[in-house]
Structure 1
Amino acid sequence: MSIAVHNASKLFPGDAKTDERDAEVIARTALGMPSCLRPVPEEDELEGARRLEAQRADLPEDRTHQVNRLRALMLESCPAFEAAMRPEEAWCLAALERLGGPWNIRDAGRRRYRGAAKGAPAGRAEALWDSVGGSTRPTEAVVVPIIARRIREDTEEVERLAGLIGDVVRGDETYRCLLTVPGVGPRTAAQLVLDVAIEDFADHDHLASYCGLAPRNRQSGTSISSVAATPQGNRQLKNLLIFSCSCLSRSSGYFRDCFDRCRGRGMPYKAALKAVARKRLKVIFAVMRDRVPYDPGLLRA
């Protein structure tokens, strides 16, 4: 809300930041541009799931930050260890959290290391052990376990929240209907249900614009207009919709035929996927609007 008020305040004179001015900006914006107002959502199970999704969406960013911190630290201490390290895998995190960095792993010995890295693929575990011999200086014995623990906790929290969200959306009728659309799996269907209030979109073109799948027109006066892809829109939903079409390019059916036609016209692979995602979004819009399962016969008609 504060970001929306800040952007709207630029339409009015003055640059003061007070509660009174914020209230005036909200009131005048509501009077002058009522179409910008959105109804307050009713408290229901999906609204609770949306809050969980907002929390879950922040965790991967923090996890990536911690992984980058860990890699930077290891790169200074032992580049070979950093190259062999797999912080996205549980066994590697367990070893780092329990023993520390390469210097500490070497001091612990092979036996303790193998016990800490239980469940690791033999080749990767041996490669990580062999790399500790190149450590040039002791790594902080406290910092590495802390970072590894943060990464593990973020990963576990993402999985836990994803499970809670899944339990909620599985009871939603729109979610079940979306699963019948080709290429739409549980992750994409859940994101659509949580991010898209279908009654807010007049047609599939407006939905495509929200998802970042509609082109952006540029024209001013007599200047030559251009149509190009836009970086705007819901980026997470855009990526899910596009890359979930990759399986359609390897299957058979209507959307595979669309993909082949796009490629036949010289489109690059990713552009063809985006074109198929845009075409499939028409189906998704109809399924969400009418809450009916996907009927492939209608596309062939």
Structure 2
Amino acid sequence: METLGNTSNTIKQYIIGIDAASHKFDVSWLKDTNKFTYRSKVLPNNPSGYLKLLEWIHKNITTDLSTIHVVMEATGVYHELLAYFLHDQGMAVSIVNPAYVHNYAKSLATVHKTDKGDSQIIARFGYERHPQVWQPEPKSVRELKAKLNRLDALKVDLQREENRLHTAQISGVPDEVMLSILQIRQALSQSIAELEKDVDEHIDKHPDLKRDVSLLQSIPCVGRETSMRMAVLYHSKQFEKASQMAAFLGLVPRQRESGKYQGKVMLSKRGNSKLRALLYFPAMNACRFNPDIKSQHARLLSRGKVKMQTIGAAMRKLVHICFGVLKHQTVYQSRVAVI
């Protein structure tokens, strides 16, 4: 428990660390901030588990949820539903970059590397570092994110059916099997087309989203898919500067300290791998057609950097440019002379 405010108007705040995984989440309440003792609980990562967490908090900590400060790591999608739920219950929620917690944990040699230990580290990090309280994105952004995630899933399913169709055409299968593949393929294609139309209409209905997507598409080599997802990312996280967005996507360089790559500088590859992969081809094209990135690309090659290093730098630069046009709400303007 920590206290906020002056002595005449002290507010008690209880710190809880949560380490979320796909099927469960580990909870640690920092019970004593002098001895750093904890009370812990493991719960299923589903709505039933969220309600059980509320019961556990009411029974063991407090019924005044406004005095609860929950600290979580940004773990892909595993933490999201729980974060929304806790925020809606009136708790303060902080979602922190895992890299910050990882670096902090290096100084805590007495804490063992377990899920329980991770949630304790997160709680202690919250107590000592006072991370910024998270504010959920607007409803329009949350809905767009859900639609895009569903669209991605449908496209994966369609690609699987395309692969099955290719195999069936080569190997020869009964007509009934071929018909089933074609029917599912057709249904998926139709669902994708309908959802893509719905996404376009959703963006058109929300002027802020529409403007952001338009601003992003003013950047050479940033198309519809990239612009929508970068707009969602920007509004879903509380990035204060472009480097934080790049770090979230795993686009910051790090030096390998062991193994056959010892001494080489590579991308950290932490964070959102899907969006990082989506940026790969736009960055490749940007090395040829985006003035700022083309200039950077040539400069890095002249210094002896290999192709993959220049593409990684291009991806990072592209993220910085996207952040800039959204933060300043201005169309892209090249910083180098266009020849």
Q: How many Å separate the matches in 1 of 2:249 and 2:312?
A: 11
Q: What letter is aligned with 2:53?
A: D
29-38 vs 55-64, which deviates more? Answer: 29-38
Cα deviation code 1:106-145 (max 9, x no counterpart):
xxxxxxxxxxxxxxxxxxxxxxxxxxxxxxxxx2111111
Equivalent of 1:234 in 264, 268, 272: 272
Equivalent of 2:203 in 169, 180, 190: 169
How big is the shift at 1:247? 2.4
1:272 maps to 310
Q: Is 1:291 equivalent to 2:324 in the alignment?
A: no
Q: What letter is aligned with 2:320?
A: K
1:7 maps to 25
1:182 maps to 220
Cα deviation code 1:262-286 (max 9, x no counterpart):
2223333333122122123222111
> Number of residue pairs matched?
234
1:35 maps to 94
1:22 maps to 53
Aligned-partner SS, 1:7: strand
Q: How many Å separate the matches in 2 of 1:167 and 1:62?
A: 24
Q: How many Å separate the matches in 1 of 2:68 and 2:26?
A: 10
Structure-2 change in CA distance of 1:260 and 1:69 (3 Å): same
Q: What letter is aligned with 2:178?
A: V
Q: How many Å separate the matches in 1 of 2:279 and 2:24?
A: 31
How big is the shift at 1:241? 2.2
14-23 vs 66-75, which deviates more? Answer: 14-23
Q: Is 1:56 equivalent to 2:151 in the alignment?
A: yes
Aligned-partner SS, 2:284: coil
| Residues 78-157 of structure 1 mapped to structure 2, 5 A cutoff | 139-157=173-191
Identity of aligned residues (%): 18
How big is the shift at 1:10? 7.8
Q: How many Å separate the matches in 1 of 2:55 and 2:257?
A: 34
1:81 maps to none
Equivalent of 1:159 in 166, 176, 193: 193
How big is the shift at 1:149? 1.9
Higher relative contact order (CA 8 A, sep 6+): 1
Check conservation: 1:204, 1:281, Cα contact below 8 A. Answer: yes
189-198 vs 35-44, which deviates more? Answer: 35-44
Cα deviation code 1:237-270 (max 9, x no counterpart):
2123231122233337332121112222333333
Q: How many Å separate the matches in 1 of 2:296 and 2:315?
A: 10
Q: How many Å separate the matches in 2 of 1:10 and 1:67?
A: 46
Q: How many Å separate the matches in 2 of 1:189 and 1:26?
A: 41
Q: Which runs of 5+ in 1 are unaligned?
A: 78-138
What TM-score do you get using the length of structure 1 for normalisation?
A: 0.64
Normalized per residue, which structure has more helix?
A: 1
Equivalent of 2:235 in 197, 210, 215: 197
Larger radius of gyration: 1
1:263 maps to 301
Aligned-partner SS, 2:159: helix
Q: How many Å separate the matches in 2 of 1:185 and 1:59?
A: 20
Normalized per residue, which structure has more strand?
A: 2
1:92 maps to none
Aligned-partner SS, 1:70: helix
Q: How many Å separate the matches in 2 of 1:60 and 1:73?
A: 20
What TM-score do you get using the length of structure 2 for normalisation?
A: 0.58
Check conservation: 1:9, 1:25, Cα contact below 8 A. Answer: no
Q: How many Å separate the matches in 1 of 2:198 and 2:94?
A: 34
1:68 maps to 163
Q: How many Å separate the matches in 2 of 1:194 and 1:252?
A: 23
